[in-house]
Amino acid sequence: MASNEDQNELLLRYLDGSLDPSDQAMV
């Protein structure tokens, strides 16, 4: 499981619309 910092970064990228499909599965 990703750390809080990693999840925060993923969330920012998700909101920015730049996540890959594989990254979205981690959110």
Q: Tell me what the mean pLDDT of segment 16-23 comes to.
A: 69
Q: Tell me what the mean pLDDT of segment 2-18 comes to.
A: 81
Between these two residues, 9 and 22, which has the higher pLDDT value? 9
Q: Tell me what the mean pLDDT of segment 12-19 comes to.
A: 76
- Over its C-alpha atoms, the chain yields an Rg (Å, rounded) of 8
Between these two residues, 3 and 22, which has the higher pLDDT value? 3
Alpha-carbon distance 15 to 23, whole Å? 12
Identify the pLDDT of residue 26: 60
Mention every residue, 6+ apart, whose C-beta is less than 8 A from residue 24.
14
Q: Tell me what the mean pLDDT of segment 3-18 comes to.
A: 82
**DSSP string of 1-27?**
---HHHHHHHHHHHHTT---HHHHTT-
